[in-house]
């Protein structure tokens, strides 16, 4: 019976048509498998990037914390922080003395006219002196 089926012209035609269809299906299957592998690789790359970013952020936070700790430890041997506390206390205390109030108000009006770079310089000095670098990340620049 199998010899007869081989001699049958319809089976030849079926074999001729079947071969390209089988090859097409193999190519389609390979393409889908390759796309799935590519998606897996992209997913792995994204996960690794996220891990690296998390480690860098953690390390950056540690560096900032170390900087702040060192600044606070250096306060023990420095008069800078006492000087700034004294300096910033003058207008605070003088604002309660009626005779000095106009001078305090005029001083703050004058400070409003100072260049932005100068104000940022003062902010930076205070932040570095008091070990408040963590606060700098929260300050929004206009």
pLDDT in tens, 62-111: 666 666 667 666 666 677 778 888 988 999 999 999 999 999 999 999 99
Say whether pLDDT at 133 is over 90. Answer: no
Closest to 93 in 3D by CA, of 104, 84, 82, 81? 104
Residue 40: partners with Cβ closer than 8 Å, 6 or more residues away: none
Residue 57: both structure tokens together: 């952020």
131, burial (CB in 10 Å: exposed 0-12, middle 13-18, buried 19+):
buried
The secondary structure of residue 78, as a DSSP letter, is -
pLDDT, residue 102, reads: 95
Domain boundaries of the chain, sorted by first residue: 1-76, 78-142
pLDDT, residue 137, reads: 61
Rg of the chain in Å (alpha carbons): 38
Does the pTM exceed 0.95? no
> What are phi and psi for residue 139, nearest 5 degrees?
-80, 125
More confident residue, 112 or 8: 112
pLDDT, residue 20, reads: 79
Q: Is 93 helix (H, G, I), strand (E, B) or coil?
A: helix
């Amino acid at each position: 019976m199998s010899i007869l089926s081989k001699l049958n012209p319809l089976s030849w035609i079926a074999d001729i048509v079947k071969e390209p269809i089988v090859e097409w299906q193999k190519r389609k299957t390979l393409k889908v498998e390759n796309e799935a592998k590519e998606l897996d690789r992209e997913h792995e790359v994204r996960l690794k990037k996220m891990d690296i970013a998390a480690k860098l952020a953690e390390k950056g936070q540690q560096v900032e914390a170390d900087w702040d700790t060192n600044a606070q430890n250096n306060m023990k041997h420095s008069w800078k922080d006492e000087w700034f506390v004294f300096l910033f206390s003058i207008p605070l205390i003088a604002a309660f003395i009626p005779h000095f109030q106009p001078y305090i108000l005029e001083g703050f009006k004058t400070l409003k006219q100072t260049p932005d770079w100068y104000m940022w310089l003062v902010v930076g000095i205070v932040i570095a002196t008091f070990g408040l670098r963590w606060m700098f990340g929260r300050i929004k620049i206009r």
